[in-house]
Structure 1
Amino acid sequence: MENIKGIIFDYGGTIDSRGVHWSEVIWAGYQANAVPVDKSTFRDAYVFAERELARTRHILPHHTFADLLLIKMRIELQWLVDQQHLPADAVERWAKPVADYCYDAARNSIADARPVLDELYSRFPMVLVSNFYGNVEAVLEDFDLRRYFRSIIESAVVGIRKPDPRIFSLGVEALGLPPQQVLVVGDSYKKDIVPAESIGCRVAWLKGKGWTPEEDAQMHPAIISTLSQVLQMVD
């Protein structure tokens, strides 16, 4: 892939979970802690929590990823209690163990990503474009990732969410490059790859287990299975 002069990274699902949708990471945390719900019921709780976080400001700018996960697990588990899928003490029993499992999973994924980020940072200006809850700066600082990115374009701050391509246009503007010279690295076909290509960016799709069978079945010539493959793409 020639003439790449700058890189836009997605965060959640790309840097912190190796391309695997975060619902799958959390589900693994439920299983590791023997939370007695089936996957379909868990997915309902996951959707409820995401919608609750979108409509009510539970997450504040200073919250770290550990804080965010604990808040999210409490919302999910309380919904499962309210729907009578789990006993009344479920939040107390499982919120922190599941949150801790997920935090460790993110930390391990970031450790894998760091050598790639180090190499790319030495060669390219980079911007982060993320759908997040208003605290991505605190999350990045907590994981010592903020230093890699010239600018942070966060949906909760700029008022534009993926898959709206305008959020990627903001990232391109922050790099000061034409889109044809920008590589966008993301884990979602619909939210990263399609909108980035629509404005002329080059793409790398870090494809792991997705949210839907349709996305799992989707193919694209720029699929990668590990972030280290980005280094090969820009050589």
Structure 2
Amino acid sequence: MIKGILFDYGGTIDTNGLHWAHVLWEAYQRNHVNVSKDAFSEAYKYGERALAIKPLVQPQHVFYDVLFLKLTEQFSFLKRNGHSVDDSAIEVIARECNEFAHTTVTNAKQVLEELALEYPLVMVSNFYGNINNILADFGIAGCFQNVIESAVVGVRKPDPRIYQLGIDALGFQPGECVVVGDSFSKDIQPARQLGCPAVWLNVAGWEETSPKLATPEGVTEITDFAHITKVLKSLG
């Protein structure tokens, strides 16, 4: 019987299953940032590492700020590696992607509010120390009883210990806590290692190894965040 829910954030709630690399790559294309997909992929990975290592993101930053900082690091990487990119695109892309995230979170908000009436919800996220401010800015902070953020607790996915902290926050047994996430390697596998059932929002990953055959035992696949409520009813 499901008693509580652990939600991933990025790529789950704010993009409805699209990996953020896909969202940004499409924005690069719309704004004529002419680099290869391989070059973009390397820049994307560099930007992710940079924000995780450098003290760039501050607790008061909203999501637009994170996008702007991330894109600045990406463009810096591309220029150092011989690519001609125009920094004026940074603000445009950050604004477009921020609007996309706001729209997607607004669509998810009703589902989260309905679920919060029936279950305690906990957020488990790899983020930069400002996830609470982002949740408040997006109007969904009140849906979550607790937030487990990697930059705060010192553990990052795919380490199962970060999900164990979420389980502990709920106060239930692992089998009573369902994990909802978009990344098979960072959300679903750790959940199953701990004994949690999992709902995999499987839309579009990025350079991630996914199961080639049947969905693993204890995992339910969906392709739209709005389907979560129906799936949870089937899980009990």
- State the TM-score, normalized to the length of structure 1: 0.94
Corresponding residue of 2:94: 99
Structure 1 counterpart of 2:179, one-letter code: V
In structure 1, the gaps of 5 or more residues are none
Corresponding residue of 2:33: 35
8 Å contact from structure 2 (residues 106, 138) kept in 1: no
Kindly report which structure 2 residues correspond to 1:203-214, keeping only aligned pairs within 5 A, or say none: 203-212=198-207, 214=209
In structure 2, the gaps of 5 or more residues are none
CA distance in 1 between counterparts of 2:180 and 2:14 reads 13
- 2:87 paired with 1:66: no
Task: For residue 214 of structure 1, report the CA deviation from its aligned partner.
Answer: 2.8
Task: For residue 215 of structure 1, report the CA deviation from its aligned partner.
Answer: 2.7
Runs of 4+ with >3 A deviation: 216-219
Structure 1 counterpart of 2:112, from 102, 114, 117? 117
CA distance in 2 between counterparts of 1:213 and 1:22 reads 13
Structure 2 counterpart of 1:33, one-letter code: N
Q: Structure 1 pair 135/216, CA: closer, same or farther in 2 (3 Å)?
A: farther
CA distance in 2 between counterparts of 1:161 and 1:55 reads 13
Kindly report which structure 2 residues correspond to 1:27-176, keeping only aligned pairs within 5 A, or say none: 27-87=25-85, 90-91=86-87, 93-176=88-171
**Cα RMSD (Å) of the superposition?**
1.4
Corresponding residue of 1:178: 173
Structure 2 counterpart of 1:199, from 194, 198, 214? 194
CA distance in 2 between counterparts of 1:102 and 1:219 reads 33
Structure 2 counterpart of 1:64, one-letter code: V
Deviations 1:88-146 (A, max 9, x none): xx22x110001111111111211221121111011110000001111111111110111
Structure 1 counterpart of 2:58, one-letter code: L
Partner SS for 1:127? strand
Task: For residue 216 of structure 1, report the CA deviation from its aligned partner.
Answer: 7.6
- State the TM-score, normalized to the length of structure 2: 0.93
Q: Structure 1 pair 233/134, CA: closer, same or farther in 2 (3 Å)?
A: same
CA distance in 2 between counterparts of 1:184 and 1:199 reads 10
Give the fraction of aligned pairs with identical amino acids, expressed as a percent: 42
Structure 2 counterpart of 1:110, one-letter code: V
